[in-house]
Amino acid sequence: MLIVMKFGGTSVGSADRIAQAAQLAVDTAAAGHQVVVVTSAMSKVTDALIAAARQASTGDWDPTLREELFNRHKAVADALVGGDAARHAAVVDALGQRLERFEKLCFGLSMVRELTPRLLDAISGTGEMLAAPLIAAAIAARGTPSSAVDATGLIVTTDQFGGAEPLMDDTRARTRARLQPAVSRGEIPVVTGFIGATADGVMTTLGRGGSDYSASIVGAALDADEVWIWTDVDGVMTANPAEVPEARTLPDVSYSEASELAYYGAKVLHYKTILPAFRQRIPVRILNSFNPAHPGTRVTVEGHPSARGVKAVTSIRGVILVAISGTGMQGIPGIVAKTFDVVAAQQANVLMISQASSENNICFVLSAAEAPRVVAALRSALEFELMRGHIDEITAEQQVAIVAAVGDRMRGTPGIAATVFGALGTAGINVIAISQGSSERNISLVVTDRDAAGAVRAIHRAFQLDKG
């Protein structure tokens, strides 16, 4: 089998973790498989790079940041390949070159003082470029030839900096040309997750948490047999285990359940990960690099329908509820259309929509980053309706969360909504807005951010998701 395996930040967060990741790749190859590794940056590095860029854009560049990053990565090289002078020198040289580029970008930024999305991508993608040579060296030190490959030469993307989309035909051609010969020679290429480049070679990123997406893109480009996502929990669980201690691993989920869960906040998978794999029906596994004997979760077409219908509960915190209301909205056509035209023109992503049946209120949820500009654009586009009194107000409520109950078999199962709302009622949690997708694969609701964890736990308990 050809397996594309991705390691997340905590799975490559230290010398020990990288040694373990390298061993997992080598063991899989030794079991007779062809392996391509996709890596994230070491944990916290992307955050540090973004913070550095923001600081540099104030005109204040602190060169010790480069040193700190160098020291952290070099310590790994010392620990893992310190005994092999040639290999160690090559890795340290790669780290130096990549950090030199990072420093030049930050220095330039501190002069210009304008942090564009394009520049932020060029800087924030450095973490993966530092991690890949370390992992390749650790694999090679175990006797399997390996080299780091920058995904800027593989994944061709649009120029939507900060959330670029792959152009699959070009990506497929480049990825195959670059990786197939190495893989057929028995090598394990280590590809940088998270980043890509436009057709003109300008570096882009696929969005925070995007290394999962990279793995699925590379898997699809290579017609891989499976994509494995190594993370720090035992697979996709019935809820975030950090929030619900009794959450349980789901052995099987369908592509649609996995993408719905990821979309509604299950950070264990980047929400776009599923699509490239699904198009080619490539099974995806989510595995725990801290507990590799655990079978984890398998994502396939059928999943494993649960009799109870709801399989998992998720939440997205810190989102904004925008509400457009007014008794004069009734029967006035076009306000909804105009509203969503504005949202689309702002290229904002609507996480949830709900309209009261009385037609005098529509509300929708946006990320905190996108809400301010969308609300400003709405106020100006709907100025006439506001003036005429068709709309009373456009409000943006902070500090809310979306909580979603997800499962393929919710469809056609009566009583699910009653159980959800009964559980919230008993817990004394006020529901601000409700929406059920027409796919009937989820019920999502808005509560205050303060109530989110309680709501997730109450729903988890009501459907007894802790019991298999």
Binding residues for ligand ASP, rule: CB under 6 A, are: 8-9, 40-41, 46, 127, 193-194, 208-211
**Segment lying near Mg ion (by CB under 5 A), choices 3-11, 317-325, 339-347, 358-366:** 3-11
Among 2, 3, 11, 352, binds ligand ADP (CB under 6 A): 11
Q: From residue 302 to residue 341, what is the string marking binding to ligand ADP with x (rule CB under 6 A)?
A: ----------x-x---------------------------
In the list Mg ion, ligand ADP, ligand ASP, none, the entry touching 46 (Cβ below 5 to 8 angstroms by class) is ligand ASP
Residues 6+ apart with CB under 8 A from 69: 45, 48, 49, 99, 102, 126, 130
**Segment lying near ligand ADP (by CB under 6 A), choices 119-127, 226-234, 318-326, 457-465:** 226-234
Q: Is 233 one of the binding residues for ligand ADP (CB under 6 A)?
A: yes
What does residue 9 show for φ and ψ, rounded to 5 degrees?
-55, -45
Among 236, 320, 363, 456, binds ligand ADP (CB under 6 A): 236
Tokens of 27: 């063991």
In the list Mg ion, ligand ADP, ligand ASP, none, the entry touching 165 (Cβ below 5 to 8 angstroms by class) is none
**Which residue from 313, 256, 312, 279 is spatially nearest to 452, judged by alpha carbons?**
313
Nearer to ligand ADP, 204 or 289 (CB): 289
Nearer to ligand ASP, 40 or 315 (CB): 40
CA atoms within 13 A on the CB side of 342: 21
- Please state, in angstroms and rounded to a whole number, the distance separating the CA atoms of residues 41 and 384: 49
Q: At what angle do helices 64-81 and 126-141 cross, to 10 degrees?
A: 10
Nearer to ligand ADP, 95 or 236 (CB): 236
- Residue for token pair 């809820």: 239
Nearer to ligand ADP, 20 or 354 (CB): 20
Nearer to ligand ASP, 105 or 400 (CB): 105
* β-bridge mates for residue 299, sequence order: 253, 284
- Please state, in angstroms and rounded to a whole number, the distance separating the CA atoms of residues 241 and 77: 33
Q: Is 135 one of the binding residues for ligand ADP (CB under 6 A)?
A: no
Residues 6+ apart with CB under 8 A from 463: 308, 309, 310, 313, 405, 419
Binding to Mg ion (CB under 5 A): which residues in 203-262?
Answer: 209
Kindly state the smallest distance separating residue 131's Cβ from ligand ASP, in Å.
9
Kindly state the smallest distance separating residue 208's Cβ from Mg ion, in Å.
8
Handedness of CA 153, 154, 157, 162 (dihedral sign): negative
* β-bridge mates for residue 88, sequence order: none
Tokens of 134: 């370390």
**Which residue from 268, 206, 194, 227 is spatially nearest to 10, judged by alpha carbons?**
268
Among 9, 125, 303, 326, binds ligand ADP (CB under 6 A): 9
Name the residue type at position 442: N
Kindly state the smallest distance separating residue 162's Cβ from Mg ion, in Å.
16
Kindly state the smallest distance separating residue 9's Cβ from Mg ion, in Å.
7
Residues written for the chain: 468
Q: Is 166 one of the binding residues for Mg ion (CB under 5 A)?
A: no
E strand or H helix that includes residue 6: strand 2-7
Kindly state the smallest distance separating residue 262's Cβ from ligand ADP, in Å.
9
What does residue 311 show for φ and ψ, rounded to 5 degrees?
-105, -30
Residues that bind ligand ADP (CB under 6 A): 8-11, 40, 209, 231-233, 236-237, 239-242, 266-268, 312, 314
Given the rule CB under 5 A, which residues bind Mg ion? 8, 209
